[in-house]
A and B are shown apart, each in its own frame.
Chain A
Amino acid sequence: MLKIEKKQTFFFCLALISILMGSAIYILFRPTSLLMFHWFDAMGLTSLIINMRNEMNGFNMSLPTWFIYSLPFALYVVAYLFFIKGIWWNSISLVRHVWFWCIPIVAIGSELEQSFYFIPGYFDMADLITILLGTAFVVLITEHSKINKREIA
């Protein structure tokens, strides 16, 4: 059984918070044409979601566009990175870098490809920035934790 350290728990918690936040934004403020709403419908959660969205009705008008349309996915990326950091905490294997960077690279790469019309979709600078900032945020947090760890050691 793997022994989970405090830092790992902290990362997992951050990852969960990120997932919850991202999902909340998707569920409450994004149009119901998203695929996830079809799944919720299949699960019989439509009425619950509609009630929740009704509660938030009008609130989304005061939120910036990037918050609704760019932040959620960046939060998913952040969650992924925190999970990977948490899983590969204290590991010296180089593969951990592959796991860590594969998603940010794919996400940023696809955004850039969209800007050059290599793949379908609209390039969104806000998406790119939020993903970059999210990744940078995770790197900063994890590196800061490592420095603290070294200092303590």
Chain B
Amino acid sequence: MKNEFKKHIASLGVLIVFGLLATGSIDTDTPSGSNSTPTRPESSSNKESKSNKSIEDKKTKEAKAILAKRREEIEKIQAQAMEKEMAIEALKTEDAKRIKNAISDEEKRKRQEARTIELNEIIKNASESDDITKRDAYKELYEINNDLTFYKIKFEQYSRKVDEKNKNNEKPIITEKTTNNSLETPKSNYFVIEQKKINDMPNQTSIGIEAVVSGSITELVLSEILDKLYKEAKEYRGFKFNQGAPTHFLILLYNADKSNHQLKGGDMYIARLKKQGVKSEVEIEISKDKIAQLSLAPEDKFGFSEEKRKEISIEIVQCEDRAFAEAWQMYPLSKDGNDPNNEAQLQKQQEFYNKMKIKYKTEIWKKYNITKEQSDAITSEAMKKNWPSPSIK
């Protein structure tokens, strides 16, 4: 009996040891850690499948992490590019403001003086019968020097004369300058749309002229117009530095859109004359591609005339502008460039922009019953042919 008791005690000891060992083998990571069976609480098949699943999960997680990282990098690059674009735009605006501000009253006065002299020269050289030139010159003189009633009187006097001539069935007034390179080719007109002194500094006095050309546009015509404008620009005086004469020239010619006469900007010019410094040579650049595009007869595409396609392209650009403006409004950036929130805001802005752009574009596609590919084709055609863009508000 005593022996049996000892055996019970020993058995109990063994059971306790077994219990300890079993408890020690409980996996604390499994949710069923309190499982009465302390072995791994999964079936072999489950183990394998779970093992495979865990490998898959791991791979998926890794792939997702890589994707997220890439996406983050792309977004970062996009944001940086956007930031740069915005910075460039800001610089451009600042530059434009700076140029505007640079033209001080004193400079304006000097320019007025120079122009007055020039106009007086024009009047002097004009033939006696050329009342139109005189009238226009006096008109400009009166506008420049509005305190001088003399010019006003003269302007009114020549205006009356011109009116009288018109009444006598004389030829209509043509204000645009014309050039005719040969007897066979039709006339081309051009008019100067902007003529401004860009800079007047001790080492550089630059002048910029922008003109719109219409009619028959050929390389020869453009080079002639450039030459003519360059010669005219060379004659400008009244600058403070460099003996009052310009040293740098930039003349840009644009094509006048016949439909709306909308002016193109940036690198949309069809011809350019550049001279950088007194000693440098005149560089002329004429875009043959753009001239070729102008000569092409308009054709129908996707069931739309060229005019209609132009409208569509404008609407597409407008919808992009709208999406961009809304994105800016929705997620504005802090003026502090070092604000850490800006990056997140930019990301949100980009996402919102993309979302809204697609939304608005879809509306256009539905409106004109065109596909995305057709819309893209119209956009690239617009870029290729330098179609007018909507004016930036």
Report whether A87 and B10 are in contact in the complex, using a CB–CB cutoff of 8 Å: yes
Q: Number of contacting residues on B, CB 8 A? A: 38
Q: Which of B1-58 contact A (CB under 8 A)?
A: 3-4, 6-8, 10-11, 14-15, 18, 21-32, 34-48, 51
Report whether A87 and B7 are in contact in the complex, using a CB–CB cutoff of 8 Å: yes
Asked if A153 is at the interface (CB within 8 A of a chain B CB), the reply is: no
Q: Which of A1-60 contact B (CB under 8 A)?
A: 2, 19, 22-23, 26, 30-31, 33-36, 38-39
Nearest CB to that of A36 among chain B residues?
B24
**Bound CA–CA A83/B16 (angstroms):** 12
Instruction: Determine the main DSSP class of A at the interface with B.
Output: helix
Asked if A66 is at the interface (CB within 8 A of a chain B CB), the reply is: yes
Report whether A110 and B37 are in contact in the complex, using a CB–CB cutoff of 8 Å: yes
Partner of B47, one of A22, A103, A124: A124
Nearest CB to that of B6 among chain A residues?
A2
**Bound CA–CA A150/B42 (angstroms):** 43
Min Cβ gap B264→A in Å is 69
Min Cβ gap A7→B in Å is 15
Report whether B43 and A73 are in contact in the complex, using a CB–CB cutoff of 8 Å: no
Q: Number of contacting residues on A, CB 8 A? A: 48
Q: Which of A100-136 contact B (CB under 8 A)?
A: 102-103, 106-107, 110-111, 114, 119-127
Report whether A122 and B6 are in contact in the complex, using a CB–CB cutoff of 8 Å: no
Asked if A138 is at the interface (CB within 8 A of a chain B CB), the reply is: no
Contacts known (A2-B6, A33-B29, A80-B14); A69 close to B24, Cβ less than 8 A: no
Min Cβ gap A145→B in Å is 18
Min Cβ gap B18→A in Å is 5
Partner of B27, one of A33, A79, A84, A96: A33
**Bound CA–CA A106/B34 (angstroms):** 15
**Bound CA–CA A80/B42 (angstroms):** 23
**Bound CA–CA A88/B11 (angstroms):** 9
Partner of B43, one of A76, A99, A123: A123
Contacts known (A35-B23, A120-B34); A73 close to B39, Cβ less than 8 A: yes
Min Cβ gap A54→B in Å is 21
**Bound CA–CA A102/B10 (angstroms):** 15
**Bound CA–CA A14/B8 (angstroms):** 20
Report whether B37 and A125 are in contact in the complex, using a CB–CB cutoff of 8 Å: no
Report whether B7 and A76 are in contact in the complex, using a CB–CB cutoff of 8 Å: no
Partner of B21, one of A66, A76, A96, A121: A76
Task: Specify which chain A residues have a CB less than 8 angstroms from the CB of B18 in the assembled complex.
Answer: 76-77, 79-80, 103
**Bound CA–CA A16/B8 (angstroms):** 19
**Bound CA–CA A76/B43 (angstroms):** 19
Report whether B44 and A35 are in contact in the complex, using a CB–CB cutoff of 8 Å: no
Task: Specify which chain A residues have a CB less than 8 angstroms from the CB of B31 in the assembled complex.
Answer: 120
Nearest CB to that of B39 among chain A residues?
A73
**Bound CA–CA A72/B35 (angstroms):** 16
Min Cβ gap B389→A in Å is 65
Report whether A73 and B11 are in contact in the complex, using a CB–CB cutoff of 8 Å: no
Contacts known (A80-B18, A93-B4); A122 close to B42, Cβ less than 8 A: yes
Partner of B37, one of A30, A79, A93, A107: A107
In the complex, 20 of the A-B residue pairs with CB atoms within 8 angstroms, ordered by the A residue number, are A31-B29, A33-B30, A34-B28, A35-B23, A35-B25, A38-B28, A65-B51, A73-B38, A76-B18, A76-B21, A88-B11, A91-B4, A106-B36, A110-B35, A114-B35, A119-B35, A121-B32, A121-B35, A122-B32, A125-B43
Beyond contacts A2-B6, A69-B44, A80-B14: 13 other A-B pairs, Cβ-Cβ < 8 A, are A31-B27, A33-B29, A34-B27, A70-B39, A72-B39, A76-B21, A84-B11, A87-B14, A95-B4, A102-B15, A114-B41, A124-B40, A125-B44
